[in-house]
Chains A and B, each alone.
Chain A
Amino acid sequence: MSEITVTINGETVTQNVEPRLSLADFIRDHRRLTGTHLGCEHGVCGACTVLMNGEPVRSCITFAVVADGAEITTIEGFDEDEPMTQLRKAFHENHALQCGYCTPGMLVAARDIVTRLPDADEARVRLELAGNLCRCTGYVGIVNAVLQVLEERRV
């Protein structure tokens, strides 16, 4: 067991964890924040994407002990965040989700795109989103939603 101190969605917690515990399982099973979803457990579907010190990370292949001293933001921690508010509205308006399982990771990835690449065009958006799998939508609504937010933020 190793002691870690992590700030999740503004709340600082100190806890003993097994070295093999993933950040995703720490978030879900130890902190009961079940909005972070596991899709592949090896970093290729993006469903578990969270922010660690402001950067998107795959929480399934990040050990909890690596997050010692870090600030983590999960899907439950964005309610006051402007780009996320815009994205949620755009996802809703563009039918960018069906089962909703990939959505939390997709939103965190989309937030990264709209804040990092203000001039991204559709091809770039599609390339940037290619790290996140969705099995329901064919990506049509997701791409349109991200493009809509990029447009809104340019005005």
Chain B
Amino acid sequence: MGQFGIGQGVVREEDPRLLRGRGIYAGDVSLPRQTYAIMVRSPHAHAEMRAIDTEAAKSIPGVLAVYTGEDVAADNLGVPGMPVKWTRPDGAPMAYRPQPPLALGRVRYVGDPVALVVAETLDAARDAAEALTVDYEPLPSVTDTARTVEADAPVIWDDAPDNISALYQAGDPAATEAAFAKAAHVVKRRFVISRVFAQYMEARSAVGEYDEREDRFTLYADVQYPHRVRQLLAEKIFQVPEQSVRVVARDVGGGFGTKGWQYPEHRLTLWASRKLGRPVKWTCERTEAVQADEHGRDNVTEAELAFDENGKVLGLRVRTLANIGAYLSAIRNLLAAYTNVGTLVGVYDIPAAHAEVRTVHSNTNPTAPYRGAGRPEATYVIERMFDAAARELGIDRTELRARNFIPPEKMPIKTPLGLCYDCGEFAANQQEALKIADYAGFEARREEALTRGKLRGIGTANPIERSASPSPDFAEIRFTTDGTATILMGTKSQGQGHETVYKQIVGERLGLDSERMRVIDGDTDRVAFGIGTMGSRSTVIGGSALYRAADKIIERAKPIAAHMLEASVEDMEFERGVFAVAGTDRTVTLTEVAKASFLPARLPPGSEPGLFESATFAPEDDTYPNGSHVCEVEIDPETGETDIVGYWVVDDVGVVVNPTIVKGQIHGGVAQGVGQVLMEQVAYDPDSGQLLSASFMDYCMPRADDFSDIAIVSNPVPTARNPLGVKGAGEAGTVGALPATMNALLDALAPVGVDDLPMPATPHAIWQAIQKAKSAKN
């Protein structure tokens, strides 16, 4: 192992600049002659626009333009397109309903963009936005997911009176039916998984510049997928060659899956820049962010789990209504609804399963991936079901799970919902988690808490998630004439510490010190290709591509080294940055070889000068990070307040490149999962469809005093599906935290007769549940 290799918890390369306020976030970008844009958004959940009066807005000094949907439509910008052809329950094709960059005729949620104002100053743009008047005729609206499919629910799209966009199915309905027919016991539950928002600390920005001399667009924005944004803008929206668009993302202040590739502001700032001949800068504020951005989760699920007389699961049946919001602009809006349905069976050996997902429209923001993107939802369902079943069957929760784990020797295993798990030690994970959490000693802690008037509970969950799905990514290593290396990556860090991790991978393979490497990402002009960072894929796929590029560097450098050492290529050995002639003390470093590679006189005859290699990697199948979470809570029954008194995680993210960074990912992921269960919610008024939680005052998130420490132990089982053996770590914490936390709350409240809680389980909701259970008892 090198000084800076794989497996070491080295401190991050990114920190020094960020600790001194020297990051460059999208909102920090300012260009000469730039103008300022404000988006005018619908204040109604659902309305017909009868007229837009732009005159007063245009008359404000400094205003350069006021654009409406008709102005954009006149320029025939394209739409993102929809690659999947699903059908509705009645067999009719799913309708593609892209959001216009500025609404035409009807607005369908609070925040639907209506007009774009561009001015010399931000103040002038704000004043003009206020002066703009729209004559709205409000329509009835529906925001609640279950309500969308009721017979008298308001209709979002006239051609889909049932509000259903499509039906997605997985598994075998007949086999599942047969399994339920022979069951000794069937457990049924209904779960409502709330709508939340990523709430990255940096709200989005976009600076669009059209350069007439080069006939070229440049977008500076905080995106997770620079190359996909470029492809979309070039191929679909502006219909120009991809080289005519450059996308630059520098430091990104959090993304969590939600800083997507199809936001209207990207195309609008570029389009307006082309019209005005000046750069256009849009910076979102917090209240606007909750209206403008994609939301996450939001589904209603009915689940049934069939058991035999020994507590062995025979079958699983799941029916979900997934709220995709007002529009279906891109496949992003379907990802969370279906891509992780496969993990509904969890880490359990379930012979038969069938899942149906109905995607529904509502008068809400479009939904899209948010940390987990369907993974937390799936794990939530199966892990809640195991707790419910254990209570009904009178078997300890962890024992019931243990009876149903997929054993390591049964893998690889094709699950009944179509995925192929390759490896993992599920029983060992749970055993270790129960040990570090002192599960055996819990009842004594519960009794002690009771003497203080507190209800104490413990909850467990054994998450598994489908990560790093088979799509390619790119890495390039370029040496310069002084022997230092530039590493160019197609993934895009949003705070995960990619610079550090990638340097560790190259450090391990090529033996270079950190100071001799520089990592570049987030610029489509500098990096040849990329897909981006989502789905816990960067180290798995980008890292593997980088590992391969490093291998190519060694192969390319070897003949040069042999020539320098006057030895044959076959006799060359390479270790920790040094080439050696086997069995001798004759060596030359990779750095020396890299320097020599630019000097034709020092090269073997006929070889090409320079040392540059690139590689791509696309895995053949997904990886499956997994683990076991234990959460312990104390509830004050007088106030309904919850204290998280302990949180333990055993994780298997495969080979750990940097344990410190992996722990950080899990800490943050757990906090977001616990946040969703206890306090976070995008709330709408059910009657008016008004957004009620569009500020940090109304959208409650975990703060430092809401938490205790989070203890993490690793149980890495390397996967063979990539050369590094890594499985992905970005989402693991959140996936386990949703069910573990809710299970802990329900365990605490079981003695007082509470068997379900809404999400979020706020103090008020918990207090109400306790009162309801009390009056039911009396």
Contacts and interface: CB of A to CB of B under 8 A. Distances in A.
A113 B762 CA distance: 29
A111 interface: no
A98 B19 contact: no
A138 B706 CA distance: 10
A136 interface: yes
Interface string A114-153: 0000000001011101111111111111110000000000
A97 B285 CA distance: 22
Given A37-B201, A40-B286, A74-B21, A95 B12 contact: yes
Contacts of B22: 35, 76
A140 B667 contact: yes
B494 to A, nearest CB: 6
Interface string B284-298: 011100000000000
A138 B674 CA distance: 10
B302 to A, nearest CB: 32
Contact of A100 (B30, B251, B668): B251
B704 interface: yes
A92 interface: yes
A93 B113 CA distance: 44
A133 B672 CA distance: 12
Interface string A41-84: 11011010000000000000000000000000011100100000
Given A91-B19, A130-B703, A136 B495 contact: yes
Interface of A is mostly: loop
A136 B668 contact: yes
B188 to A, nearest CB: 34
A30 B202 CA distance: 20
Contacts of A93: 11
A141 B11 CA distance: 12
A93 B19 CA distance: 12
Contacts of B21: 33-36, 74-76, 104
Contacts of A100: 14-15, 18-19, 23, 251, 253, 495
Interface string B260-293: 0000000000000000000000000111000000
Given A133-B696, A137-B667, A126 B123 contact: no
Contacts of B286: 39-42
B704 A98 contact: no
Most chain B beta carbons < 10 A, residue from A40, A92, A123: A40
B24 interface: yes
Interface residues of B, number: 59
B740 to A, nearest CB: 14
Contact of A35 (B16, B20, B200, B287): B20
Interface string B156-185: 000000000000000000000000000000
A99 interface: yes
Interface stretch (B356-364, B588-596, B658-666): B658-666
A126 to B, nearest CB: 4
A44 B672 contact: no
B86 interface: no
Contact of B671 (A38, A41, A138): A138
A39 B667 CA distance: 21
A102 interface: yes
B87 interface: no
A26 B21 CA distance: 16
B254 A136 contact: yes
B707 interface: yes
B705 A127 contact: yes
B709 interface: yes
A3 interface: no
Contacts of B23: 35, 100-101
A141 B697 contact: no
A104 B709 CA distance: 23
B31 to A, nearest CB: 13
A127 B28 CA distance: 31
B522 to A, nearest CB: 13
B25 interface: yes
B219 interface: no
Nearest to B707: A139
B251 A99 contact: yes
18 contacts: A39-B202, A39-B203, A42-B695, A42-B696, A93-B11, A95-B664, A99-B494, A104-B21, A129-B703, A130-B703, A130-B705, A135-B198, A135-B668, A136-B495, A138-B733, A139-B703, A141-B664, A143-B704
Interface of A: 18, 20, 25, 28-29, 32-42, 44-45, 47, 74-76, 79, 88, 91-93, 95, 97-104, 107, 123, 125-127, 129-143
Given A38-B203, A42-B697, 16 more contacts: A25-B122, A29-B122, A34-B24, A37-B253, A38-B27, A38-B285, A95-B660, A126-B705, A130-B705, A133-B201, A134-B201, A136-B201, A136-B664, A139-B702, A139-B703, A140-B707
**A-B CB proximity, top 5 nearest:** A35-B21, A99-B495, A100-B18, A101-B253, A75-B21
